[in-house]
Amino acid sequence: MIELSEVRKKYRDTTALDGVDLHVREGEVYGVLGRSGAGKSTLLRTVNALERPDSGSVRVAGTEITALGGSELRAARSRIGMVFQHFHLLRNKTVEANVALPLRIAGKNKGDRGPRVAELLDVVGLSDKAGAYPAQLSGGQRQRVAIARALAAEPDVLLSDEATSALDQQTTVEILDLLRRLNRDLGLTILLITHELQVVTRICDSAAILRAGRVVESGKVADLLAEP
Ligand code: ADP
Ligand code: ADP
C-alpha cells in the first residue's frame, strides 16, 4: 500500500533521510519509531507529498507520488487521511463542521454530508458532541474529531504524526485502541510515526526503527521484540 525505496532528503548540511526503504502492506498498522531528529516527520511528509525527496521512489496505493503535480497531486492527497499531535481542528467551527470539511472540499452536497458526518461521529463515539466547539472538548475528544475528519473522504491510508503524544496515559490508550478498531473493522491501513515504544507494542503489526535517517531495523513487531 505504501512503498518507499531508497528515499533521500537533505536540508542544506543535514541529511534527514539517508536511503529509506519501507513497505507497508494493505490492512496493517505500521509504526516508525525513532528519537527526535531521526527523520520521522520528513518521512511522513514524503508520503503525503508535502515534501519531495531528493531521490528515490514513494508509491501510495500504486501511484508514484513524487511524480505528481497539480490536480493529480490533490487527488492523490485526498486519498490520504492525516492526524496530528495537536489535532489541527478549526476552532471557530463545530465538531460537525470540522468533520464535514473534507466532504465539502470534495464537492459533496449538504444532503449527502449530513448522514456521513453522523456516521463518522458514531464511529468515534462523539455523536453527542456534534454541535460543540473544539475548545469545549478534552484532548482525547479533539483527537477523535480529527480522526473522524481524516476518515471522511474514505482514504486508502491513515497517516498519524504522533497522534497520542499530547495526551495523558489513559487517553493515549483509548485513542490507540480506537485506531486499532478502525484498522480491524474498516481494514484501514495505518502508518504512524512515534517516539514512544508503547505505541508500537500496543497497536502495530510491523515497525521500523529510524535512526539518523536510516532504517536500522524493521519487521513484524513480534519478531523485533523477540530479538535479544
Ligand atoms: P523527527 O520527526 O524524527 O524529529 P525530522 O524529520 O523532523 O525528525 O528531522 C530530521 C532532521 O532534519 C533533523 O536533523 C532536523 O533538524 C532536520 N530538518 C527537518 N526539517 C528541516 C527543515 N525544514 N530545514 C532544515 N532542517 C530540517
Ligand atoms: P497547534 O495545535 O499546532 O498548537 P492550534 O491549536 O493553534 O495549533 O491550531 C490548530 C490548527 O487550526 C492550526 O492549523 C491553525 O491554523 C488552525 N486554526 C486555529 N484557529 C483557527 C481559526 N480561528 N480559524 C481557522 N483556522 C484556525
Q: Could you give the ipTM of this predicted complex? A: 0.70
Q: In sequence order, which residues have a C-beta less than 8 Å from that of residue 20 and are 6 or more positions away?
A: 4, 6, 7, 8, 39, 43, 56, 210, 213, 214, 215
Question: Rounded to the nearest whole angstrom, what is the distance from the C-alpha of residue 92 to the centroid of ligand 2?
Answer: 9
pLDDT at 176: 97
Distance (Å, whole) CA 213 – CA 209: 10
Give the residue, by CA position, lying nearest to ligand 2 atom 14: 88
Distance (Å, whole) CA 95 – CA 73: 28
Determine contact, residues 210/42, Cβ cutoff 8 Å.
no
Q: In sequence order, which residues have a C-beta less than 8 Å from that of residue 103 and are 6 or more positions away?
A: 112, 113, 116, 117, 152, 153
75 exposed, middle or buried (CB, 10 Å; 0-12, 13-18, 19+)?
exposed
Q: Which atom of ligand 1 is nearest to the CA of 38?
A: 3
As given in the structure block, the three cell numbers for residue 202 are 500496543
Q: Are strands 206-211 and 189-194 parallel, antiparallel or unpaired?
A: unpaired
Query: Quick one: average pLDDT of 158-175?
Result: 96
Query: Quick one: average pLDDT of 97-124?
Result: 94
Position 228 confidence tier, pLDDT thresholds 50, 70, 90 = low
Q: The whole model's pTM is what?
A: 0.88
pLDDT at 37: 97
Position 69 confidence tier, pLDDT thresholds 50, 70, 90 = confident
pLDDT tens sequence across 7-27: 999 999 999 999 999 999 999
Distance (Å, whole) CA 65 – CA 46: 8
Neighbouring-strand partners of residue 207: 31, 219
Distance (Å, whole) CA 33 – CA 163: 13
User: Which of 20, 41, 199, 214 maximizes ligand 1 atoms within 8 Å of its Cβ, making it the mutation to test the pocket?
Assistant: 41
- Which residue shows C-alpha cell 456516521? 119
pLDDT tens sequence across 198-221: 999 999 999 999 999 999 999 999
175 pLDDT higher than 70: yes
Position 51 confidence tier, pLDDT thresholds 50, 70, 90 = very high
Q: What is the mean pLDDT of the chain?
A: 95
Give the residue, by CA position, lying nearest to ligand 2 atom 1: 86
Q: What is the DSSP letter of 124?
A: T
Distance (Å, whole) CA 129 – CA 145: 9
Question: Rounded to the nearest whole angstrom, what is the distance from the C-alpha of residue 221 to the centroid of ligand 2?
Answer: 35
Altogether, the residues listed in the chain come to a count of 228
227 pLDDT higher than 90: no
Query: Quick one: average pLDDT of 145-173?
Result: 96
182 pLDDT higher than 70: yes
pLDDT at 225: 82
Q: Give the neighbor-by-neighbor strand order of the sheet with 55-60.
A: 14-24, 2-11, 55-60, 63-64
Q: Which atom of ligand 2 is nearest to the CA of 92?
A: 23
Q: Which atom of ligand 2 is nearest to the CA of 86?
A: 2
Residues at CB less than 6 angstroms from ligand 1: 11, 14, 16, 34, 36-42
